[in-house]
Structure 1
Amino acid sequence: MNLALIAHDAKKNDMLQLAAEFRPYLQTCTLMATGTTGGRLQRELGLEVECLLSGPLGGDLQIGARLAIGQVDAVIFLRDPMTSQPHEPDINALVRACDVHNVACATNVAGARLMLTGWADLAGLVTHQAI
């Protein structure tokens, strides 16, 4: 599973908590992330993550380009709906690319937990934590 992880600033701690909860499964995946999110996942959880550019510097577009050529199987993009983002067109383009290419995309913790629980279960790595 090639999984892209992205989190706006206000959602980075949520991403870390989610990744810690599903660490056994995530360790079986090929992970890529935008810069700051990926760096924190590496430093704080010890996950192997390919860090791309920060979202505002083009990281969302890098993930979108990989997605378009079949190098991304799913995206978890914890978006902050309460804060205006200067790279909103890039965000919309990435979510649209998920729709165009029929790639699973979760934009909040509840959706991400459902996706990860299903895949972890298929891999025999269920966390058994409440959703």
Structure 2
Amino acid sequence: MDKSEELRKPVLALIAHDQKKDDLVMFVSRHIAHFSNCQLFTTGTTGSRILAEHKNLDLMPLKSGPLGGDQQIGGLIAEGKIDGLIFFVDPLTPMPHDVDVKALMRLAIVYDIPMALNRSTAEILLTNFAEQADGELNA
């Protein structure tokens, strides 16, 4: 396969509420082989935490969620630049920027991108992307 036929890396957005950041970092660690083959966008603090553990990832941290990072990722979704969203949500802690989170979820629904809000659905999302990549390699 020449360079013009190389497959495009999946582009994923990774976000986690404060109480779920450790869970997302552990999730990335468990699936590092998959995430190493993706381009990643994250909100600021989440990205910093992931990069502290995995410096070689193709990861672009944006602003912190409450400072506009959720909207930045929403903009990327609206531009068609995100293939999937993994957002580890903390349903038990009130969020002052809850309207931003709802707007981000609304964009994922409007633009019909897969969105995982917990570990179980994130596992399914990753499995789906891996199966698609295998199918393209075997085609």
TM-score by length of 2: 0.85
8 Å contact from structure 1 (residues 31, 50) kept in 2: yes
How far apart, in 1, do the equivalents of 2:73 and 2:129 lie? 21
Identify unmatched segments of 5+ residues in structure 2: 1-9, 135-139
Matched residue pairs, number?
A: 124
Code of the residue aligned with 2:38 in structure 1: it is C
Identify unmatched segments of 5+ residues in structure 1: 125-131
Q: 2:37 aligns with which of 6, 20, 28?
A: 28
Which string of whole-angstrom CA distances, capped at 9 and with x for unpartnered residues, describes residues 52-78 of structure 1?
000010100000011001011110000
Partner in structure 1 of residue 99 of structure 2: 89
Code of the residue aligned with 1:83 in structure 2: it is T
Give the greater-gyration-radius structure (CA).
2
1:39 and 2:20 matched: no
8 Å contact from structure 1 (residues 74, 105) kept in 2: yes
- Tell me the percent identity: 43
What do you get for the CA RMSD once the two structures are aligned?
A: 1.1
Secondary structure of 1:66 counterpart:
helix
Code of the residue aligned with 1:119 in structure 2: it is F
Partner in structure 2 of residue 129 of structure 1: none
Partner in structure 2 of residue 12 of structure 1: 21
How far apart, in 2, do the equivalents of 1:104 and 1:117 lie? 12
Secondary structure of 2:103 counterpart:
helix
8 Å contact from structure 1 (residues 18, 113) kept in 2: no
8 Å contact from structure 2 (residues 38, 58) kept in 1: no
How far apart, in 1, do the equivalents of 2:49 and 2:59 lie? 10
